[in-house]
Amino acid sequence: MLLLVADRVIAAEPRLSEADRNLGDGDHGLGMQRGVTAAREKLLALPDDGSVPVEKLFSTVGLAMMSSMGGASGAIFGTLFRDGGKALAGRESFGASELAAFLRAACDGVMARGKANPGDKTMVDALHPAAARAGEVADGPLDAALASVGAAAEDGCEASKGMVAVFGRARSLGEAAIGFPDAGALSVTVILGAMRDFVAGLPSASE
């Protein structure tokens, strides 16, 4: 699943770069691409016999992004995976309840690290509604949870178009930032969309 996340982020680079060019310095897509490429290498170096704890799979991605991307995006997207991963300590599988724990801790970590709140036109505008939705669907099957959580993130990213930025270069644009989504929020939708599509492609437990 995390390898598909990496592949999708790499493929989304032009879209992420364009989104950041509209509001910032345009480096977000290449930074994310660099981060998940490093994460991909680290994941592929782990044993694939099921012996690696779930927590470690996610934290491996987070640490690789932190050390390879640099800048605010590296720290913040790295925190998403590292802090989210920490919440999975002791879990032996990844279901809807783990998704909810992951996203809750990821969102808390990102908000603490980036000092951003919902409405500030950042990745939090996709991540926060996704985490809230994951909490509501934590008792159901993972595929349905990810479909719902992915939609919540996409709605949040769409809503970021109407916001004025509080951070970064976009802040100086004032109301000129309205109409464009935040690039980090877009990245969150790519990540969750990849998780959703991976799980939707798995044979169900009853098959």
Query: What is the contact surface with Mg ion in residues (CB under 5 A)?
Result: 20, 24-25, 27-28
Instruction: Check: CB of residue 178 under 8 Å from CB of residue 164.
Output: yes
Residue closer to Mg ion (CB basis): 28 or 82: 28
- Least distance from C-beta 28 to Mg ion, angstroms? 5
Quick one: 8 or 21, whose CB is closer to Mg ion? 21
Q: Which of 65, 12, 2, 8 is nearest to 35 (CA)?
A: 65
27 vs 182 by CB, closer to Mg ion:
27
CB-nearer residue toward Mg ion: 187 or 189: 187
- The tally of CA atoms less than 13 A away on the side-chain side of residue 130 is 37
Q: Least Å distance between CB 32 and Mg ion? A: 10
Residue 68 or 97: the one with the smaller Cβ distance to Mg ion is 68
Residues in contact with 35: Cβ distance below 8 Å, sequence separation at least 6, in sequence order = 9, 64, 65, 68, 69, 73, 74, 77, 78
- Could you tell me the two tokens for 9? 């982020």
Sequence-ordered alpha helix ranges (H) in the chain = 2-11, 13-23, 28-44, 54-69, 71-86, 96-114, 124-136, 142-160, 183-200
**Rounded to the nearest whole angstrom, what is the least distance from the CB of residue 70 to Mg ion in the complex?**
11
Residue nearest to Mg ion (CB): 24
Minimum Å distance from CB 23 to Mg ion?
8
Q: Between 27 and 83, whose beta carbon lies closer to Mg ion?
A: 27
Q: How far is the CB of 135 from Mg ion (least distance, A)?
A: 30
Closest separation between CB of residue 152 and Mg ion, Å? 25
DSSP collapsed to 3 states, 92-136 = CCCCHHHHHHHHHHHHHHHHHHHCCCCCCCCCHHHHHHHHHHHHH
